[in-house]
Homo-oligomer: A and B are copies of this chain.
Amino acid sequence: MKYSFKNDYSEGAHPRILEALVRSNLEQQNGYGLDDYSLNAEKLIVHQIKNQNSKVHFVSGGTQANLIVISAFLRPHESVVSASSGHIFTNESGAIEATGHKVHGMETLEGKLRPEDVQKVIDLHQNKPHQVKQKMVYISNSTEIGTIYSKRELQELYRFCQDRNLFLFMDGARLGHALTAETNDLTMEDLATYTDAFYLGGTKNGALIGEALVINNENLQEEFGFHLKQKGAMLAKGRIIGIQFQELMKDNLYFDLADHANKQAMKMKKALKDKEVDFLSETFTNQIFPILSQSQIAKLSEKFDFYVWKKMDEEKAAIRLITSWATTDETVDHFIGEIAGI
């Protein structure tokens, strides 16, 4: 069996999470997110972001989080601006449009939106009311191509949004990996300060399932439960996400798992760089995109599974390698050994 670097959700959950599920299994709890674990997990998150006024809801996946947030926050004539590499623009089978809203996809540098990218969309939509009204900016951190936002970038974008009456929403499917990247200077507190809402991804960071959605803007918190229910996201056994986040938020587990994944990727990156391999982009999270020759790719794929991401020319292509909380030192050493020979 080849080891797969295809994604960070190939395994089940971190053992501590399974243990917590087993330990609590027969305790009777309220349904629909009103269980003790979910309430406690919310407290732990609120404590970390240092914003008592934020509200936390648990949902089962990223597309679900995105479509509920966007359809709950926007009126029918309002749209959302995304990078063209953004998950909502290109990878959710029209989930946002299915709730009635246009997504503007902007070609951007490194998968990140800057104020000038958003301004460009606004400038192109001045013929009101014949053109749709922009009301939200959607960003991913880490992005779909592994890059991260600096504190300054986030601050500038948030200020821009505030000035133009736009909501700023951060997709954090891989937020743990962003916050533990060696180049990161954002804190959990910053997320509560410089976004209207964001989520902490669990599925890609050691949970069986689940994302923790945090709504900071109090105007957007009202009656949110209706939207969860209406979109099929309110689990009868909400407890199973609650208990996982309760465990992840204790003893720094969430960040330790992400940090582990990043470190494994960085070791692989270093080994590749030592071999003078170029990369599609410079990343410091758990996704790396080395550019290899077709023969190198063929050789490597005898031992490992991964996606060929982008053809560069007739000769070369970038591949995507993703590590996770479950990627062992042995696996990484094996990989490093293999690339020595290609």
Contacts and interface: CB of A to CB of B under 8 A. Distances in A.
Interface stretch (A46-54, A130-138, A191-199, A292-300): A130-138
A131 B60 contact: no
A115 interface: no
B12 A25 contact: yes
Given A77-B93, A97-B97, A208-B240, A63 B129 contact: no
Interface stretch (A141-149, A231-239, A260-268, A276-284): A231-239
Interface in A35-74: 60-68, 71-72
Interface in A195-236: 203-204, 208-209, 223, 225-236
Contacts of A61: 232, 234-236
Contacts of A15: 25
A210 to B, nearest CB: 10
Interface residues of A, number: 80
A79 B98 CA distance: 10
A63 B229 contact: yes
Interface of A: 1, 3-4, 7, 9-13, 15, 18, 21-22, 24-32, 60-68, 71-72, 75-77, 79, 90-95, 97-103, 124-125, 127-133, 203-204, 208-209, 223, 225-237, 239-240, 326
27 contacts: A9-B237, A11-B26, A12-B26, A18-B21, A18-B22, A18-B25, A60-B60, A60-B235, A61-B235, A63-B234, A65-B232, A68-B232, A76-B226, A77-B93, A77-B229, A91-B131, A93-B130, A94-B100, A97-B97, A97-B102, A129-B229, A133-B223, A203-B235, A208-B240, A209-B209, A209-B240, A232-B233
